[in-house]
A and B are shown apart, each in its own frame.
Chain A
């Protein structure tokens, strides 16, 4: 595959030069994608127990998914190129969902045409110079690449059964398992010609429970470069996270104080807000409150954050970024002091520095080749502390524990860091222990202030897309039900 991409890349580069482009960069991408989703499965073993079907006969009649589950299965190949052509400091971008030579050359013509009618961009310096990519890149697990629809369907189904068997109050599940294998590369007039391949496996299961008229929900997931053979544990934990929410009560009064965010909940706020704030481009554009804070203490001393595109098995680890620049380690906060921002080539050259290898075109659900590079973390790591979640809770006299997915995290103010989100899986903490689940509550705060009032950091790090972080305890957060 790589050879075919390389060949098309070189032809496209030649064509761009022939048409008068001073420089050109071709991003090539190909993905084999298989996904299996089940919406709303109801479980055979569960319905047997409730409706009193007779043992094994019903088991045969109803293998596992009872009537109402809808499977949605998709499998296919997506490929294309994204072209940046440069004339007189003006960049033209064009992309096409094809690897067919004639279509690609047409797209090259479009890119050159756009570059020619655009005014020069005074911030543009040049495309990245060719560099040797890192030896180790994306993990390619043949087991993920070869995972067939049959096998994924089996795993998906098993998840639903396990989730339903966990507790009789579980009434429904939705599962989604995907396997992707990706080849991508960058070829440019500068002499860059780099390729990498990798696999990605993800499984998600969400469950819903009902008891005495009360409905609760929860979920769990796995995201990794390699195959997880047994996904049943996440089905169990999804159901556990659901049923532990029965018996929700409101907060007696508005809580202003300590909130413990479970790793998943914190990961959402961390990835949405902090990712935007440390983008060198956003800093240049006055879109970050971190502007002019370099070298200053912006967080408590226990907070250290780095971006590591070389992390073994990291979901964001590749040999090079989406502009062909090798991935690297970039310290962002060291013991509370702001030490660095992330850059792609454009933002870096604008202030005469080197790209940190953080150009990304991946913005799901769009195809990467249809996007121009933006500054994004690879694996943004909040360094773990020493205690587990129970340890974090034990220090809290009166507070709130927030778990699971937050509603509205994506709508946080990425410029100021303000967030106001709603949580369906939250709990009251008294004297170091969870006392009862809370009715849907609103949680408001500011991420940058939170870095300064992060009193404890857990040791239970997990990967959530481009961030890896543990659970944290933060003071001065407002919660109301």
Chain B
């Protein structure tokens, strides 16, 4: 198709235009006095398709292009950006970054220096079997419609079905005045189906979701066909119509991979982000080398996980993403760093500087955070649970700087003598992560890491795509908030 060819060559022009403007921005920042300057360029596309009850509701495409510039001067740095991709606008952003650094430098006593890293020059391509950019919109739309069809037919009590397909891809560029010049092609797809079931005044919901740095063949696998996912979501919603409220109090619990992921990311991962450690805001400050969890607990953060998730070769300071064991056999062994925090704490940079897009300054962020695999069999973890709650999946959670967290499991079961007795409605888990890690009794061998382009993690008003996961785990004395 001539159209496709045009847009391809359009992209190439864009690519060299962005890289050229980035170079100019860096040069200009140095000219007006910066000690060090870096630029992030971006040309990414996000597509979303939403179907509700057999109707295609939304089809959208978002193209996001722009350049962010950060300059260091004296003791501080400054950040500015522009999505007007002309020379004048980008140079103005470079100047603003230097000016901010100068203003800021007068006001701070802590010199922001950067840990030394080797300059890297590399272009990383992403190969996927049936990359979303090569698959028609029609076929993606059908994934959603197939989910709706299957779920609607699952029972009369299914009142509403919503399916969303999302994709994010393009190219991200990074360059700095030390000679680093890298680019990579982010890729993330996801498919999710949510069902609302209704009986009288009672309304419940359930969902299934699958995603990661994958091609469209991901939805051909038996476990993740649109039909299978829709069937799951519908059945789980119908089951919740019969569910009882979860009791409040302390119980032993088995949690699934998705909930383990949120625990690893939200409750522990954020505390290990070194920007909060540097300022003494994290309860992990000064705890390096200390035993914080049971021997079987290992928590990893990395850019290129083997078991699914979001592939990220470089961070937004051009540093290759390292495989980091934050907690190893219960002992705190690493924090997550950008170049500045690594320098302050005299540690190695880990490649954890990330920004939502070119219009945000990079801050310390996680990549794919998960509990490493253990030896326990999942069925044993459950059969050994004398009395307690099997908590499954979560729409997210929240954590305070002190380590206090709240997660909401989407589903759950009351378990007695190792058997699921009855389903539970929305179950809230609360507690403090540092206490919880000491109560992990079993870590299973069924590690899964997943990531989707829906939402992502929020920190200091920025969102980032992350992967989370873990295996099934059993934990004693978990505080459940219960329902009304």
Which of A's residues lie within 8 Å of B, judged by CB? 37, 39-42, 62-63, 65-80, 91-100, 103, 106-107, 110-111, 114, 117-119, 121-123, 149-150, 153-154, 157, 171-172, 174, 176, 208, 215, 217, 254, 285-287, 289, 364-367, 370, 372, 407-408, 410-411, 413, 415-416, 418, 420-422, 424, 440, 442, 444-446, 449, 478, 480
Contacts of B197-220 to chain A: CB distance below 8 A? 198, 201, 203-205
Residue among B58, B141, B162, B407 making CB contact with A372, cutoff 8 Å: B58
- Alpha-carbon separation in the docked complex, A123 to B406 (Å): 39
7 closest residue pairs by CB, A with B? A40-B279, A408-B406, A442-B481, A420-B428, A93-B60, A76-B81, A422-B406
Residues of A close to B81: CB separation below 8 A: 74, 76-78
Contacts of A73 in B (CB 8 A): 78-79, 100, 103-104
Partner-A contacts on B (CB < 8 A): 7, 10, 46, 52-53, 55-66, 68, 76, 78-86, 89, 93, 96, 99-100, 103-104, 107-110, 112, 137-138, 141, 159-160, 162, 196, 198, 201, 203-205, 248-249, 275-276, 278-281, 283, 340, 356, 359-361, 363, 395-402, 404-408, 425-426, 428, 430, 432, 458, 460-463, 479, 481-484
Return B105 CB to nearest CB of chain A, in Å: 9
- Are B55 and A407 in contact, with the CB atoms below 8 A? no
Q: How far is the CA of A261 from the CA of B159 in the complex (A)?
A: 34
Specify which chain B residues have a CB less than 8 angstroms from the CB of A372 in the assembled complex.
58, 60
26 A-B pairs with CB atoms under 8 Å apart are: A39-B275, A70-B340, A73-B79, A75-B100, A77-B83, A78-B83, A92-B59, A96-B64, A100-B84, A100-B86, A106-B10, A114-B137, A118-B56, A149-B104, A153-B107, A172-B280, A285-B160, A370-B46, A407-B398, A411-B398, A411-B407, A411-B408, A418-B426, A418-B484, A420-B428, A442-B248
Contact of A67 among B62, B84, B96, B109 (CB under 8 A): B109
Pairwise interchain contact A77-B84, C-beta atoms closer than 8 A: yes
Contact A217 B279 (CB under 8 A): no
Q: Among B82, B361, B481, which residue has its beta carbon within 8 angstroms of that of A480? A: B481
- Determine how close the nearest CB of chain A comes to the CB of B135; give it in whole angstroms: 13
Using CB atoms, name the residue of chain B closest to A413: B426
Q: What is the CA–CA distance of A41 and B279 in the complex, to the nearest angstrom?
A: 7
Shortest C-beta distance, B15 to chain A (Å), equals 14
| A445 and B484 form a contact (CB under 8 A) | yes
Q: Is the CB of A117 within 8 A of B278?
A: no
| Alpha-carbon gap, A78 to B358, bound state (A) | 10
Task: Please state if A172 and B279 are interface contacts (CB–CB under 8 Å).
Answer: yes
Q: How many angstroms between the C-alpha atoms of A440 and B280 in the bound complex?
A: 21
A422 contacts which chain B residues (CB < 8 A)? 404-406, 430, 481
Contact partner of A94 (CB less than 8 A), chosen from B61, B203, B280, is B61
Known: A123-B55, A149-B100. A99 touches B280 (CB 8 A): no
User: Taking A78-B83, A153-B103, A420-B408 as contacts, is the C-beta distance between A95 and B10 under 8 angstroms?
Assistant: no
- Chain B nearest CB, measured from A360 CB (Å): 15
A421→B406 contact, CB < 8 A: yes
Additional pairs, 15, CB under 8 Å, beyond known A97-B64, A415-B205: A40-B281, A71-B108, A76-B359, A77-B81, A77-B82, A77-B83, A77-B89, A80-B83, A100-B86, A106-B10, A121-B55, A370-B64, A407-B400, A410-B398, A480-B481
A76→B137 CA distance, assembly (Å): 34
What chain B residues lie within 8 Å of A93 (beta carbons)? 58-61
Q: A121 → chain B, closest Cβ, in Å?
A: 6
Report A-chain residues with C-beta under 8 Å of the C-beta of B107: 63, 65, 71, 153-154, 157
Q: Which residues of B contact A171 (CB under 8 A)?
A: 280
Q: Are B484 and A78 in contact (CB under 8 A)?
A: no
- B109 CB contacts on chain A under 8 angstroms: 62-63, 65-67
Q: Tell which of B64, B83, B196, B283 has the most Cβ of chain A within 10 Å.
A: B83
- Nearest-Cβ distance from residue B14 to partner chain A, whole angstroms: 9
Say which residue of B59, B402, B479, B481 sits within 8 Å of A118 (CB atoms). Answer: B59
Least Cβ–Cβ distance between B235 and chain A, in angstroms: 18
Q: Which residues of A contact B60 (CB under 8 A)?
A: 93-95, 114, 372
Closest residue of chain B to A110 (Cβ to Cβ) is B61
Contact A365 B462 (CB under 8 A): yes
Distance of A345 from chain B, by nearest CB (Å): 15
- Given known pairs A67-B110, A149-B100, A217-B400, the reply for A72 and B363 (CB within 8 Å) is yes
- Nearest Cβ on chain B to A245's Cβ, whole angstroms: 11
Complex Cα distance, B83 from A416, in Å, reads 41
> Which of B59, B399, B461, B483 has the most A CB atoms < 10 Å from its CB?
B59
In the complex, the answer to whether B110 meets A40 with C-beta atoms within 8 Å is no
Partner of B461, one of A40, A91, A365: A365
- Distance between Cα atoms of A420 and B68 in the complex (Å): 40
CB of A69 within 8 A of CB of B279, answer yes
B104 near A99 with CB under 8 A, answer no
Given A114-B61, A418-B484, A150:B426 Cβ within 8 A: no
Residues from chain B with Cβ under 8 Å of A215 in the complex: 283, 402
Within the assembled complex, what's the spacing in Å between the Cα atoms of A416 and B279? 41
Which residues from A are CB-within-8-Å of B84? 77, 79, 98-100
In angstroms, Cα B105 to Cα A63, docked, is 12
Is there contact, CB below 8 Å, between B108 and A69? yes
Q: Tell me the complex Cα distance, A410–B395, Å.
A: 10
Expressed in whole angstroms, the minimum distance between the Cβ of B335 and any Cβ of chain A is 15
- How far, in Å, is B454 (CB) from chain A's closest CB? 12
Task: Tell me which residues across on chain A come within 8 A of B407, comparing CB atoms.
Answer: 408, 411
Which residue of the partner chain B has the closest CB to A39? B279
Chain A residues within an 8 Å CB radius of B203: 286, 289, 415-416
How many whole Å from B91's CB to the nearest CB in chain A? 13
Report yes or no: B397 in contact with A411, Cβ–Cβ below 8 A.
yes
A286 x B85 contact (CB < 8 A): no
Instruction: Give the docked Cα–Cα distance between A442 and B62 (Å).
Output: 40
B104 with A424: CB separation less than 8 A: no
User: CB distance B401 to A217 under 8 Å?
Assistant: yes
Chain B's nearest CB lies how many Å from the CB of A188?
Answer: 18
- A69: which B residues are within 8 A, CB to CB? 108, 110, 279
Interchain CB contact (< 8 A) of A40 among B65, B276, B432: B276
If the complex has contacts A410-B398, A413-B426, A420-B481, are A39 and B108 also in contact, measured as CB distance less than 8 A? no
**A106 — which chain B residues lie within 8 A by C-beta?**
7, 10
Given A72-B79, A114-B61, A287-B196, are A365 and B463 neighbors across the interface (CB < 8 Å)? yes
